[in-house]
Amino acid sequence: MQLTQALKRAVQVNRAGTATRFGDRHRTWEQFGDRVARLAAGLRGLGVRDGDRVAILALNGDRYLEFLFAVPWAGGVFVPINTRLAPPEIVYWLTDSGASVLFVDDNFTDILPRIRDDLERVDHLVYLGNDAAPAGMTHHESLIEGSAAADDAMASGDTLAGIFYTGGTTGQSKGVMLSHANLVSNALFIVPGIGFDADTNWLHAAPMFHLADGCATIGITMVAGSHCFIPRFDPDAALAAIARYRVTNSVFVPTMVNMLVNHPRLADYDVSSLRTLLYGASPMPEAVIRRAMQVMPRVAFIQGYGQTEAAPLMTLLPARYHQPDGPDADKMTSAGLAALGIEIQILDADGRECPPGTVGEICGRGPNVMLGYWNKPELTAETLRDGWLHTGDGGYMDADGFLYIVDRVKDMIISGGENVYSAEVENAVYQHPAIAECAVIGVPSDRWGEQVHAIVRLKDGADLDEAGLIAHCHALIAGYKCPRGVSFVTDPLPLSGAGKILKTELRKPYWEGQAKQVH
Amino acid sequence: MQLTQALKRAVQVNRAGTATRFGDRHRTWEQFGDRVARLAAGLRGLGVRDGDRVAILALNGDRYLEFLFAVPWAGGVFVPINTRLAPPEIVYWLTDSGASVLFVDDNFTDILPRIRDDLERVDHLVYLGNDAAPAGMTHHESLIEGSAAADDAMASGDTLAGIFYTGGTTGQSKGVMLSHANLVSNALFIVPGIGFDADTNWLHAAPMFHLADGCATIGITMVAGSHCFIPRFDPDAALAAIARYRVTNSVFVPTMVNMLVNHPRLADYDVSSLRTLLYGASPMPEAVIRRAMQVMPRVAFIQGYGQTEAAPLMTLLPARYHQPDGPDADKMTSAGLAALGIEIQILDADGRECPPGTVGEICGRGPNVMLGYWNKPELTAETLRDGWLHTGDGGYMDADGFLYIVDRVKDMIISGGENVYSAEVENAVYQHPAIAECAVIGVPSDRWGEQVHAIVRLKDGADLDEAGLIAHCHALIAGYKCPRGVSFVTDPLPLSGAGKILKTELRKPYWEGQAKQVH
């Protein structure tokens, strides 16, 4: 199994068909394939050798997709960087992965001067924009124009294809190593699961650095469908792109779905081409999906559940189970059934399968399960045990094989589709001298699914208000990780027998009266 | 990738749904899964250990499917035996594979006494029928009843899963070694290629020992559809089964399609449930497929091309290209496009890709390509070169990626969906003392696609007629391999520069005026 096979097939079976549409730019599969092979040659010219890491920090676009195929074509390993990270976090990811080349688009060239000195191992910067390349950067187009097509490096199977980081900097950040077989397997599960074919016209609206959209990068290419792009999600941009490109499929996180269906001018856009919307990556409020089904009655909604460690798909809730009423109504609150080639089990603490209805840890086994964490063998051994990926998610399965997720990944908060590790935010909060005790939890948010909330006890005599604590955090971590609200308490926080703060207790008052969250 | 994952998924997601229907016997996926795990325990009780070969000689049925999952569940390797072989050929396959257990149904118990002494390595015979087990045989049901469910041996990936023989005994017979990953990959290409889902109701009408039907064994299980069986193809039995079980999909070789569409009582059967028919494994006369489309206008026809060495699928001609008229009419004479995860190229003698329209050898690369030939490392090295499976089929690709097959596998004859190696038949012919020179070729047959024809020159003064030669062959090889016609010539057969008989020349007069055959 080989990422580049998907591209070669698309060029062979749909040579003159549309590969990419981005703004006014349109390329056929033949053109796209030629550009990838030449970009790969350009990468080799920059010194990229088998297994070398090549990073990208950019919004969505056709060149991002070229990058994602050119790197494996050259034998390299791609490292997509979260576009919402703070500069120190970007430095950490680049340094940890040891990337030797970094691709950057116009939106991020500004931060380069601030981090350039910290990037000792990055030998080359490649500019992805439309203008002339800034000083010290090589233009993406000049790498293509200046090279003859390279031979495919033929990396495949268990060879490392990409490193996808989850989390941030403070001991929480983990580079998930995914092989060619991992990513191609996932695509093979997605294709029939969603029904991709050569007529599928995919909109890359969710960020391409994240594997929720990454499913389509390979899957749509494999079936020789078409890729359309908007740089970042915005309801008007997404609706306009759907109308303009006659988009048939996309993936949206619940906050995006929410913005679309509540958009005051939704009716002004022609979305009649839309066949299927995949949603996932964070809890979907039931009211939102019901409204989405009402306002887009011809669209089939499919829920996906997974994690980066599973490349990422683990379960799918097919459209036929989106029935708010009737005998299968309760299935709609589930995360669906095991994807095609994956084994899903709920295991107890001893690694035994839990009976239906009993909560345990959601575990998965299959060709999509990661190789491990980059440079973290202990964490890998902890996560991949007896052949099972231990997701850290709590859940149960009903007697029909439907998976219900009942708890966050340990204490992770999923806000607007982004994973926020509470421990990392707590580390930032704790750096303020006024803080005695702190716990960061996710609380319900209509906009983000969950939002980050800090519960703090100040030191005796200390003086700090909500705005002050939030500003303190903004100096240390990415904006989306910062608390959006702070509760000040005077009693010590509740502790478990083992001395850990009982976050379940802290979360309770915020979640009371809310429908049980499923994601 | 693991064969048993498909079964475990089916049990999990469609526990109470129909797994198998055979005659009046009906079993749910839960029952089927339980029977497989207990049969696997029974196999271990017979001494089957990891990697041990377990053979089967039986017509189609639900127990055949149980066998195909129980053997990998027990860690063994299945060896499906062609049901049309002559006893010495059966002995050869069993001996060559070193099978320690042989499953036999009522149709083949008669031959056991004739071959029992030759089967030194076969320790146990298992009876698959409905009566009491004959003396010396263990009953399939008693293996199940007498055992508690075994744990899955968890064989997967590149581990050998099955040996599928092609050809016969006389130096031509080759055991194709297919791994778990080979067979599961193939299923993952088939599922979206044909559109299998949980509502698919498959009729096993083509022989289950052959991989044309084997595609569905795993694919239908993976999607948790249903399996129906008839012991062997017969147009009335097939039509009755389609009506009775509301069959949605099946695979037929062209001769079967021909028998169906020309069946005088076709209109008496309700075939309205049929959605899709896959056909392949031998050349499809254009008149037959046109007629099939006429008499079954609501059925989507899909052509598959492949070979056992590719587990077996290589290309698919989707239903949308079955348009006898219009701009895509010429595509209907092709074998279609590369299956999803496979790379197909036409290579010249130097291993370079041929340009569109140029005939070369059809080659394939992907996770479905066999591990190699059992105990034949030289032949393996000859067939798998530079990562490419060399099919031995000649063909070309058009500029749109459609594959056209223009020649037989070397000198193989495909008669009624069975591969006949001409060299093997020639060996039999040559064993007659009257033969001076002989070449066996395939000639057109309305019934079989091709039929075996011998061209012979007798020794001076020798006396032999057609019936005598055919009778001589019947004593040595399976009936379907024997010549159906003989031409006696007096001039020496035409030779190539290298001294090989020019079969292309011999074939010419028989094929003149025939539409160019596609595979």
**Which SS3 state, helix, strand or coil, does residue B240 take?**
helix
- Summarize pLDDT for B16-34 with one digit per residue, the tens: 999 999 999 999 999 999 9
pLDDT band at residue B305 under the 50/70/90 scheme:
very high
pLDDT band at residue B324 under the 50/70/90 scheme:
confident
- Summarize pLDDT for B369-401 with one digit per residue, the tens: 999 999 999 999 999 998 899 998 888 999 999
- Summarize pLDDT for A79-134 with one digit per residue, the tens: 999 988 888 889 989 999 999 999 999 999 999 988 888 888 899 999 999 999 99
State the nearest Cα–Cα gap between B18 and chain A, in angstroms: 14
Question: Which of these ranges, A65-69, B265-269, B358-362, has the smallest mean pLDDT?
Answer: B358-362
Arithmetic mean of pLDDT, A187-203: 95
**Which SS3 state, helix, strand or coil, does residue B319 take?**
helix
pLDDT band at residue B168 under the 50/70/90 scheme:
very low
- Summarize pLDDT for A3-41 with one digit per residue, the tens: 999 999 999 999 999 999 999 999 999 999 999 999 999
pLDDT band at residue B494 under the 50/70/90 scheme:
confident
Measured N-to-C along each axis, helices B254-261 and B286-295 cross at an angle, to the nearest 10 degrees, of 50
With 0-12 CB in 10 A as exposed, 13-18 as middle and 19+ as buried, what is A267?
A: exposed
Q: Flag if A5 and B342 touch (Cβ within 8 Å).
A: yes
State the nearest Cα–Cα gap between B284 and chain A, in angstroms: 23
pLDDT in the model for residue B283: 62
Between the ranges B71-85, B247-261, B427-441, where is the mean pLDDT highest? Answer: B71-85
Indicate whether A313 pLDDT > 70: yes
Indicate whether B314 pLDDT > 70: yes
pLDDT in the model for residue B496: 55
Q: What is the spatial distance between Cα A273 and Cα A259, in angstroms, rounded to a whole number?
A: 19
CA B417 to centroid of chain Cα atoms? 8
- Summarize pLDDT for A45-63 with one digit per residue, the tens: 999 999 999 999 999 999 9
Q: What is the spatial distance between Cα B175 and Cα B164, in angstroms, rounded to a whole number?
A: 5
Q: Take residue A425 and report the two structure tokens written for it.
A: 């935010």
Q: CA-nearest residue of chain A to B316?
A: A13
CA dihedral B214, A9, B315, B20 (to 10 degrees): 30
Residues on chain A touching B366 (C-beta within 8 angstroms): 1-2, 5
pLDDT band at residue B519 under the 50/70/90 scheme:
very low
How many residue pairs bridge chain A and chain B with CB atoms within 8 Å of each other? 95
**Which ipTM score applies to this complex?**
0.81
Q: Flag if B184 and A338 touch (Cβ within 8 Å).
A: no
Indicate whether A409 pLDDT > 60: no
Arithmetic mean of pLDDT, A414-439: 82
Rounded CA Rg of chain A:
23
State the nearest Cα–Cα gap between A79 and chain B, in angstroms: 24
pLDDT in the model for residue A514: 67
pLDDT in the model for residue A285: 65
φ, ψ of residue A382 in degrees (nearest 5): -70, -35
Helices (H), A57-158: 62-73, 87-97, 112-115, 140-145
Indicate whether A326 pLDDT > 90: no
Q: CA-nearest residue of chain A to B6?
A: A341
Q: CA-nearest residue of chain B to A221?
A: B340
- Summarize pLDDT for B102-125 with one digit per residue, the tens: 999 999 999 998 888 888 889 999
**Closest Cα to residue A367, out of B190, B342, B180, B50?**
B180
State the nearest Cα–Cα gap between A261 and chain B, in angstroms: 30
**Which SS3 state, helix, strand or coil, does residue A436 take?**
strand
Q: Flag if B340 and A188 touch (Cβ within 8 Å).
A: yes
Percent of chain A at pLDDT > 90 equals: 67
Q: Flag if A401 and B15 touch (Cβ within 8 Å).
A: yes
Percent of chain B at pLDDT > 70 equals: 94
State the nearest Cα–Cα gap between A15 and chain B, in angstroms: 7
Q: CA-nearest residue of chain A to B14?
A: A400
pLDDT band at residue A433 under the 50/70/90 scheme:
confident
- Nearest by CB to residue A341, choosing from B14, B184, B344, is B184
Count helices and strands (H / E) in chain B: 15, 27
Arithmetic mean of pLDDT, A371-395: 92
Indicate whether A519 pLDDT > 50: no
Mean pLDDT of chain A: 90
pLDDT band at residue B410 under the 50/70/90 scheme:
low
Q: Which of A3, A28, A343, A369 to substitute to test the interface with B, most B CBs within 10 Å?
A: A343
Q: Take residue A437 and report the two structure tokens written for it.
A: 């005790």
pLDDT in the model for residue B455: 95
Q: Flag if A340 and B400 touch (Cβ within 8 Å).
A: no
- Nearest by CB to residue A5, choosing from B9, B192, B341, is B341
List residues bridging with A419 in a β-sheet: A414
Residues on chain B touching A344 (C-beta within 8 angstroms): 12
Strands (E) in B309-366, as ranges, are: 313-317, 337-338, 343-347, 360-365
* Residue B361 · residue B327 · CB < 8 Å: no
Q: What is the spatial distance between Cα A180 and Cα A178, in angstroms, rounded to a whole number?
A: 7
Indicate whether A443 pLDDT > 60: yes
Structural domains of chain A in order of their starting residue, each with its CATH number: 3-304 (3.40.50.12780), 422-511 (3.30.300.30)
pLDDT in the model for residue B504: 77
Q: Flag if B188 and A341 touch (Cβ within 8 Å).
A: yes
Helix (H) or strand (E) holding A444: strand A435-445
Residues on chain A touching B340 (C-beta within 8 angstroms): 9, 188, 191, 222-223
Q: Flag if A340 and B222 touch (Cβ within 8 Å).
A: yes
Indicate whether B498 pLDDT > 60: no
- Helix, strand, coil % (nearest 5) of chain A? 35, 25, 40
Question: Which of these ranges, A202-216, A299-313, A461-475, B273-287, has the smallest mean pLDDT?
Answer: B273-287
pLDDT band at residue A498 under the 50/70/90 scheme:
very low
Indicate whether B35 pLDDT > 90: yes
Indicate whether B85 pLDDT > 90: no
- Summarize pLDDT for B172-182 with one digit per residue, the tens: 688 999 999 99
> Omega into B312 within 30° of 0, i.e. cis?
yes
Question: In which residue are the tokens 């030629």 written?
Answer: A34
* Residue A179 · residue A159 · CB < 8 Å: yes
**Which pTM does this prediction carry?**
0.83
Q: Take residue B392 and report the two structure tokens written for it.
A: 């031995």
State the DSSP code for A192: I
The identity of residue B5, as a single letter, is Q
**B143 Cβ neighbours under 8 A, 6+ residues apart:** B38, B39, B42, B43, B45, B46, B126
Mean pLDDT of chain B: 90
- Summarize pLDDT for B426-485 with one digit per residue, the tens: 878 888 989 888 889 999 888 888 899 999 989 888 999 999 999 999 988 899 999 999
Indicate whether A497 pLDDT > 50: no
